[in-house]
Amino acid sequence: MSLFLETGYTSLNKKDEELCGDKVETIIKDDQITLVLADGLGSGVKANILATLTSKILCTLIANQVSIDECIETIIQSLPVCKVRKVAYSTFSIIHINDQGHGYLFEFDNPQAIYIHHGSCKDLNRESLNILNKVVYKSELNLSVNDHLLIMSDGAIHAGVGSTLNFGWQRDDIKKYIENSDIDTASARALAWFVAKACHDLYMGIPGDDTTIAAIKVKRIEKVDLLVGPPVDKDNDNYYVARFLNNDGKKIVCGGTSSQIVARYLNKEVKTLFDYPDKDVPPIGHIEGIDLTTEGVLTLKRLLELSKRYLSISDLNDKRFKAKDGASLLADMLFEKATHITFYVGQSINIAHQNLPIDISMKIKLVESLANDLRQMGKRIVVNYD
């Protein structure tokens, strides 16, 4: 059975630095993902350059099945040498894993990874390798459904040193913090945010070091079909809805007219809920047999705003969506849960919008922008226009 791999990370810049000295690079190739977190020596521009070169070189080489020995040698020969310290130094963690959860992890001078299984944080078995006089640790990976693997730069274990904590946030403390939460059911991106937010709080909002948390999660495939707007030709309504309903997966309908044609096809009633959890988002509806029914353009506009925030690697707002307005419910289904999303976009002009600053091009742009953001989240996206 093929599974789905998702990744996510959050970075905190050291105080007064515009650039982060950590860098995460990801390559998806065939059924495998390669993710590299590199931490450049020092901070600022030089550290950013070292981390960027390290992550890009390692990710490209590992993704193309180059041996770790050759990768290390290439890094040593490629990194610029610091004139002051006479070293070219960047630590790294490398995850290389296929969609069955099998692969390996290499670690060089970064804090040891944390493996999360059934809500319990565990240590991976590590083999010590001596490569060109550098000690690199290798761990075999055999991850199961809903497992997470968390990697981090040393800014995480330095969080709170000399202020909120005497000796920083030790790795065992991070493990306990995760185990005492309900975050193990969340996405990779939400887990990374959760730990990074705690680091930010321990630094009292002024990070003393670049801090990056990255995670990967193994998931079952979760398909979602989303219908937005009716087709141009009304005679195609039944065909359009039948095609939408024919596939496996959860069903979402966006828009008043779309809701009516789906309800008519199912011989059901559209029930509008008049609760306003968010005054700026129209209320949701309910159609028996449909998982979620929302208003159209205004809800999608808010959803797009949420997606930009969700994708930001520096945004510290909660990546989980617990509110009950239409946009938040959509975000939870599409961002946190879905792996494969198919859009069915009708291009009919809505008569109700004739005197409003809303037209078909706006709806299409919203869908295209949203689809692009979802691809950046790693989702598999198909967009059908009718």
Does residue 263 sit in the same domain as residue 197? Answer: no
Please report the pLDDT score of residue 190 as a whole number. Answer: 96
Q: Which residue bears the tokens 């080489």?
A: 61
At 190-201, the pLDDT tens digits run 999 999 999 999
Whether pLDDT at 356 is above 60: no
Name the token pair of 20: 């982060």
Domains: count for the chain: 2
**Residue 187 per-residue DSSP state:** -
Are 154 and 9 within one domain?
yes
Average pLDDT over residues 82-94: 75
Look at residue 354 in the predicted model and tell me its pLDDT. Answer: 53
Q: Which range of residues forms the domain containing residue 305?
A: 223-385
Contact criterion met (CB below 8 Å) for 188 and 114: no
The region of weakest confidence among 276-285, 323-332, 337-346 is 276-285
Q: At 223, is the secondary structure helix, strand, or coil?
A: strand
Indicate if 316 and 328 belong to the same structural domain.
yes
pLDDT recorded at residue 359:
56
Inter-CA distances, 160 with 21, 198, 212, 315, Å: 19, 10, 15, 20
Residue 357 reports pLDDT greater than 80? no
| Mean pLDDT of the 307-325 span | 95
Q: Are residues 197 and 254 both part of a single domain?
A: no
Least confident stretch, 58-62, 136-140, 227-231:
227-231
Order of all β-strands in the sheet with 134-142: 22-29, 32-40, 90-98, 102-108, 134-142, 127-131
Query: How distant is the alpha carbon of residue 139 from its chain centre?
Result: 24
The answer on 199 and 185 residing in a single domain is yes
Model pTM score: 0.91
pLDDT for residue 352 is more than 70: no
Element (H, E) at 205: none
**Quick one: average pLDDT of 131-146?**
92
Q: Using alpha carbons, select from 342, 341, 348 the residue that is nearest to residue 386.
A: 348
Same domain, yes or no: 320 and 227: yes
Output the DSSP codes for 288-354.
TT-SEEE-SHHHHHHHHHHHHHHH-SS--S-SS----SHHHHHHIIIIII-SEEEEEE--PPPGGGT
- 294 in the same domain as 187: no
Quick one: pLDDT at residue 236?
84
- Could you give the residue ranges of the DSSP H alpha helices within the chain? 44-63, 68-78, 171-179, 188-202, 237-246, 256-266, 297-311, 326-331, 360-376
Q: Is 377 helix (H, G, I), strand (E, B) or coil?
A: coil
Burial of 317 (0-12, 13-18, 19+ CB in 10 A): exposed
How high is the mean pLDDT of the chain?
A: 91
Do 214 and 227 reside in the same domain of the chain? no
CA R_g for the chain: 23
End position of a domain, from candidates 199, 219, 239: 219
User: Which CATH number belongs to the domain containing residue 29 in this structure?
Assistant: 3.60.40.10
Dist CA 218 CA 315 (whole Å): 24
pLDDT band at 351 (very low <50, low <70, confident <90, very high): low
pLDDT at res. 223: 97
DSSP state of 231: -
pLDDT digits (tens, 9 = 90+) for 208-267: 999 999 999 999 999 999 999 888 888 888 999 999 999 889 999 999 899 999 999 999
pLDDT exceeds 70 at position 77: yes
Where is pLDDT greater, at 348 or 307?
307
CB-based burial label for 297 (10 Å; 0-12, 13-18, 19+): buried
Predicted local distance difference test score (pLDDT) of residue 78:
80
Please tell me whether residues 251 and 106 are part of one structural domain. Answer: no
Binned at pLDDT 50, 70 and 90, residue 292 comes out as very high
Q: For residue 196, what pLDDT is reported?
A: 97
Residues 165 and 294 in one domain: no
> What's the confidence (pLDDT) of residue 279?
87
308 and 332 belong to one structural domain = yes
pLDDT at 134: 85
* Sign, Cα dihedral of 1, 319, 213, 22: positive
In SS3 terms, 60-79 reads as: HHHHCCCCHHHHHHHHHHHC
Looking at the fold, whether 227 and 133 belong to one and the same domain comes out as no
Tokens of 169: 């946030």
Report whether 169 contacts 240 (CB < 8 A): no
User: Is the pLDDT at 92 greater than 60, yes or no?
Assistant: yes
Domain's final residue, options 169, 203, 219: 219
Question: 219, 237, 258: which is the final residue of a domain?
Answer: 219
